[in-house]
Structure 1
Amino acid sequence: MSCNNHEIIVVVVPFPAQGHLNQLLHLCKLIASHNIQVHYVTTMTHTHQAKLRVHDPFSFINNNNNNIIHFHELSTPFFKSPPPNPDSSIKFPSHLQPSFESSSHLRKPMSRILRALSSKARRVVVIHDSLMGYVVQDFVHLSNAEAYAFHSVSAFTLLLFIWENMGRPFDIDASLLKDVPSLEDCFSPEFEKYIKLQYDYMKFNSGKIYNTCRVIEGPFLDLLSKEQISNNKKQWALGPFNPVLVQHGTRSCQYKQHKCLVWLDEHEPNSVVFVSFGTTTTFSDDQIKEIAIGLEKSEVKFVWVLRDADKGNVFAKDHQSRKIELPKGFEERVKGKGIVLRDWAPQLEILAHSSVGGFMSHCGWNSCMESISMGVPIAAWPMHSDQPRNTVLVTKILKVGLVVKEWTRRHEVVTRGVVQAAVEKLMVSKEGEEMRHRAMDLSAALKKSVAESGIKNMELDSFISHITRQI
């Protein structure tokens, strides 16, 4: 379905952290493909970050969507951008809190943008990250504006969060609850306070959007639609937002093939484990040493992204940045068997490569969706936020992964033996092979859902029909 009505303007407001920026930029592309004008509004720093790191950046710079996706680069007051603390016992990225707090200053410029767009549109549709409710609150003063909260986490994790906060208003299958970890140490106290402030504005929204798909989380989406939770407001599962078909070697000639993809070309199908813990994880020197030795002892080929967590401003120059040390002689010993990347890596393209047969991950929801999309099973090592509960979904419910580190042991260093055993189980055992088959089946179902008459496309068409309605 396509809409030629430019009287509808969509304003997308992401939360200033990589996983959130990325998801909503891909959603912009999906909406723009229906010939609807989209405005992506965040700070100057985070606009640049989102564009730089998006899968296939060329498509956002030089294609038919170029005139229909408008980027707003807003200024905020200076905020501190301290380095992450590798020795912190709680792995939540508290060093990003100044960046999060600074985003509250976007309320006034956001209000001006909404008023200006409202004056020339039949309807302004605001899609905001659930953590940006405060910033968009002034849409309520515009008679032709409506807002939808975007949730960047799994339906399973969100359901449990809301259900527990509401005092468990209805029964949920006890078998789903027996492995669910507590939220202890998932967030900092400052961030919990920040979440509460944002959720106070949710009552003004007209519905919710999820980055998930019914073929993965149908039962949990059904529970989220129950009246006690939804208040009869509409909801749409529009994920996955990442492309589900990634053609290896077809990237625009403007962008040089990443060295790790060239390296992966030399190896057999499903023979390489990809090791990456996202943009908000920082390990201690001791933990890095244990991972390195565990990978080496497993004798499984690997691509390891070894970098500190993002700072609030990823472009800030820091002459005292940490140099992460590996065991002496490690890179020489694993030459030909492993490659260590110390900067940004094209995760989706790596997971899509035929040589990659497993993913050791922090289980952030972006990474889970990308891995499932590409049919790659997960060795789950949760760090904070929604990750411990995503781990339950991936390993116990979908059964497309195994647990490296239980949340109850979150303060312990994972030993080389545990790393080695997890990699070997994922990559060279019968159990790992069965997980890989289940992951590939889920991937096939996801790809089918994205096809023209698939359920994900039907959900997107339903959302587009709703926001372009005549009444």
Structure 2
Amino acid sequence: MTKKTCIAMVPSSGLSHLIPQVEFAKQFLQQHNQFIVSFIIPTDGPLTPSMQQILNTLPPNIDFIILPQVKNLPQHSYEPATKMKLVAKYSVPFLQEAIKSLISKTHLVALISGVFSTDAHKVAKKFNLSSYLFYPSGAFTYSFFVTLPNLDDSVSSETEYLLEPAYETVIVPGSTITLTIEDIPDIIKSERSSILYKSFLDVCKKFSLFDGVIINTFTDLEPEVIRVLQENERESKKPCVYPVGPIIRNESNCEENINLMCLRWLENQQPSSVLFVCFGSGGTVSHEQLNELAFGLELSGKKFLWVVRVPNKVTNSAYFVGEKDDPLEYLPNGFLERTKENGLVVSSWAPQVEILGHGSIGGFLSHCGWSSILESVVNGVPMIVWPLFAEQKMNAKLLIDVLKVGVRVNVDDESGIVKREEVAKSVKRIMEGDESLEIRKRIKELSVGAAVATSEDGSSWKALSSLALKLHSF
């Protein structure tokens, strides 16, 4: 019996990394059904119910292998990026055994690694497999991170920090955006001698080792950056770049009763009248900031649908801390009663994909995670830009300075929070007036571009076909 041609995928740990890779696999197989895909999942504990549900509902041509749990991670691994990298690194022996098993059953041709699973590259090479990186964010941030090792080499050994004093600003190849130290992820602001910084730098160094990089973007969204990356590929034998996006979910992984509650409420609202407020699957704000956001939404007088989480001073705490308290208990006294005619407030989770696709939504207050950005672009929904952590401030610069499809909230210099007046002002800017109309026009154009890119013979469709042809040749 002829063995089926198989691709193995090793996602970085966590729901926000698993979802884009699963959606990519589905899209790839829909277009090229001669392949099968096997996910190999590194773990350091039991899978969350959400992850388990996603894996249990995979189509027949996608299966999965859960690797044994990694134990006794070092103390410094509590920073998210470092933890994900170490989980993947310590899973390499388990990964090798899983690859051996797949080779015995299938015609395994390639291994596709997540951003923090780059140690899987050496496993691919050991078994003479084609090796690819799946980059779930945009070409702009990829261009910065793949350049980071060169930037680091240019800084003198006496310099403690990357951007001070030798580099006060950085221009990303293929972009006119100038980044300051305020715009880059916190992990890069660590001392260059620190374990956190070195760990992330090692991830970025491995980017250039892959045969190709699959990026969740499309040509009309980031034309110049993609052009420069592809020129570099031709001129200096850099990895092939495949812009295959937008890859987004078709439906949310959310409880049915919450889905119905949100969508029924939206059905009773006017077209483009509601602001959706959500900080992604892991974003949180402090209690003080939660109150200011609440008062700002109330002050704006606009309709809103708000996903509230238990406040925390650590902006990505929802990734690691289960919510035992009721988030609604942290809202200002009387807020729910005062705003019951204008707003719907839900705890922790809501069906974001379905909400952004609803005709009543007129704006999205977002933390600027890339998946949320793409969902907003696909549905033509303008954004209020409120970045919290990781590469989100870089994404925010792209949205405001280049794409011009949103407005950005301003943080108060003294308190370090966004005041209620600023919240209300931003809501009104995105929901009414001439500025809103211009932003709405631009994001509608990008929405059309996204649809064209993924249609037959569109740029992303062709990129997937090119990748499939390469893989089929092995």
Instruction: Answer whether TM exceeds 0.5 for this pair.
Output: yes
Whole-angstrom CA distance in 1 between matches of 2:3 and 2:358: 39
Alpha-carbon shift at residue 310 of structure 1 (Å)? 5.5
The aligned counterpart of 2:313 is none
Measure, in 2, the Cα distance between the counterparts of 1:226 and 1:391: 26
- Please state how far the C-alpha of 1:366 moved relative to its aligned partner: 0.9
- Report 1:188-267 matches (<5 A): 189=190, 191-227=196-232, 231-242=237-248, 257-267=259-269
Q: What corresponds to 1:420 in structure 2?
A: 424
Aligned to 2:61: 68
For 2:272 and 2:341, how far apart are their aligned partners in 1? 16
Superposition deviation, residue 157 in structure 1 = 1.8
1:462 partnered with 2:472 = no
CA distance in 2, matches of 1:8, 1:178: 44
Residues 361 and 381, structure 1, Cα contact 8 Å, conserved in 2: yes
What is the alpha-carbon distance in structure 2 between the residues aligned to residue 79 and residue 353 of structure 1?
45
Alignment of 1:134-153 (within 5 A): 134-143=119-128, 145-153=129-137
Of 445-454 and 155-164, deviating more is: 155-164
Deviation at 1:304, TM superposition (A): 0.8
Which shows bigger deviation, 188-197 or 262-271?
188-197
- The answer to whether residue 455 in structure 2 is matched with residue 451 in structure 1 is yes
Q: 1:414 to 1:252 in 2, by over 3 A?
A: closer
In structure 2, what is the equivalent of residue 26 of structure 1? 23
CA distance in 2, matches of 1:217, 1:392: 13
Q: Which residue identity lines up with residue 385 of structure 1 in the other structure? A: A
Quote how far apart the aligned CAs of 1:202 are: 3.7
Q: How far is the alpha carbon of 1:102 from its aligned partner?
A: 3.4
Quick check: 184-193 or 234-243, which moved more?
A: 184-193
In the alignment, what sits opposite 1:166? 150
Residues 148 and 208 in structure 1, CA contact (< 8 A), matched pair in contact too: yes
Cα pair 1:95 1:311 within 8 Å, conserved: no
8 Å contact kept, 1:212–1:240: yes
Alpha carbons of structure 1 residues 282 and 37: separation in structure 2 relative to 1, 3 Å: same
Shift of 1:466: 1.2
Distance 2:395 2:255 in 1: 37
The one-letter code sitting in structure 1 at the alignment partner of 2:15 is Q
Which segment drifts farther, 358-367 or 168-177?
168-177
Structure 1 counterpart of 2:334, which letter? G
Contact persistence 2:284–2:317 (CA under 8 A): no
Distance change in 2, residues 1:232/1:410 (3 Å)? farther
* Contact in 2 for aligned 1:274/1:359 (Cα 8 Å): yes
Cα deviations by residue, 1:51-74 (Å, 9 ceiling, x for unpaired): 54x6xx9xx73xxx6221102222
Q: Distance in 2 between matches of 1:364 and 1:462?
A: 28
SS in 2 for 1:368: helix
More displaced stretch, 122-131 vs 225-234: 225-234
Deviation at 1:291, TM superposition (A): 0.1
Aligned to 1:363: 368
SS of the residue corresponding to residue 91 of structure 2 reads helix
Aligned with residue 281 of structure 2, among 263, 279, 282: 279
CA RMSD of aligned residues (A): 3.4
Shift, 1:323, TM fit: 7.2
1:75 is paired with a residue whose SS is strand
Verify the 8 A CA contact 1:16 1:46 in the aligned structure 2.
Answer: no
Does the CA-based 8 Å contact 1:117-1:124 persist in structure 2?
Answer: no
Structure 1 residues 343-358: aligned runs within 5 Å:
343-358=348-363
Task: Name the CA distance, whole Å, in 2 between partners of 1:344 and 1:385.
Answer: 21
Residue identity in the other structure for 2:10: V
Q: Deviations over 1:180-200 (max 9, x none)?
A: 664556327454333223344
1:319-398 matched pairs, under 5 angstroms: 325-398=330-403
Q: Secondary structure at the match of 2:299?
A: helix
CA distance in 2, matches of 1:113, 1:354: 46
Other structure's SS at 2:270 match: coil
Match for 1:268 among 267, 270, 286? 270
How many angstroms apart in 2 are the aligned matches of 1:290 and 1:421?
13
Counting only pairs closer than 5 Å after superposition, residues 5-44 of structure 1 correspond to structure 2 as 7-33=4-30, 34-35=32-33, 36-42=35-41, 43=43
> Which shows bigger deviation, 40-49 or 278-287?
40-49
SS at match of 2:118: helix
Residue identity matched to 1:12: M
4+ residue runs over 6 A deviation: 168-175, 251-256, 320-323
**8 Å Cα contact 1:358-1:379 kept in structure 2:** yes
CA distance in 1, matches of 2:63, 2:464: 21
| 2:61 alignment partner AA | I
Structure-2 separation of matches of 1:274 and 1:230:
44
Residue 96 of structure 1 and its aligned partner are, at CA, apart by 7.6
- Using a 3 Å threshold, how does the CA distance of structure 1 residues 22 and 310 change in structure 2: closer, same or farther? farther
Q: CA deviation at 1:162?
A: 3.0
Q: What is the CA-CA distance between 1:179 and the residue it aligns to? A: 6.1
Match of 1:49 in 2: 50
In 1, Cα distance between equivalents of 2:295 and 2:254: 37
Residue 104 of structure 2 corresponds to residue 107 of structure 1:
no
* Identity between Structure 1 and Structure 2 (%): 27
Counterpart-to-counterpart distance in 1, 2:416 and 2:334: 26
Q: Partners of 1:128 and 1:135 in 2: how far apart?
A: 6
Q: TM-score normalised to the size of structure 2?
A: 0.82
Kept in 1, the 8 Å contact 2:258–2:350? The answer is no
Q: Which deviations, in whole Å up to 9, do the C-alpha atoms of 1:3-41 show, x marking residues without a partner? A: xx8532111111113321111110121223222110112
Deviations 1:130-189 (A, max 9, x none): 21112452221113x111011122111221333354249999789813466645563274
Change (3 A) 1:41 1:269: same
Aligned-partner SS, 1:354:
coil
Report the equivalent of 1:88: none
Distance 1:142 1:12 in 2: 15
Unaligned runs of 5+ in 2: 155-169, 311-315
Deviation per CA, 1:415-455: give whole Å up to 9, x if none.
Answer: 00000000000001210121112111110111122122222
Partners of 1:351 and 1:374 within 8 A in 2: yes
Amino acid at match of 1:240: P
Q: Within 2, Cα distance between the matches of 1:20 and 1:329?
A: 38
| 1:207, distance to aligned residue in structure 2 (A) | 0.9
CA distance in 2, matches of 1:361, 1:345: 14
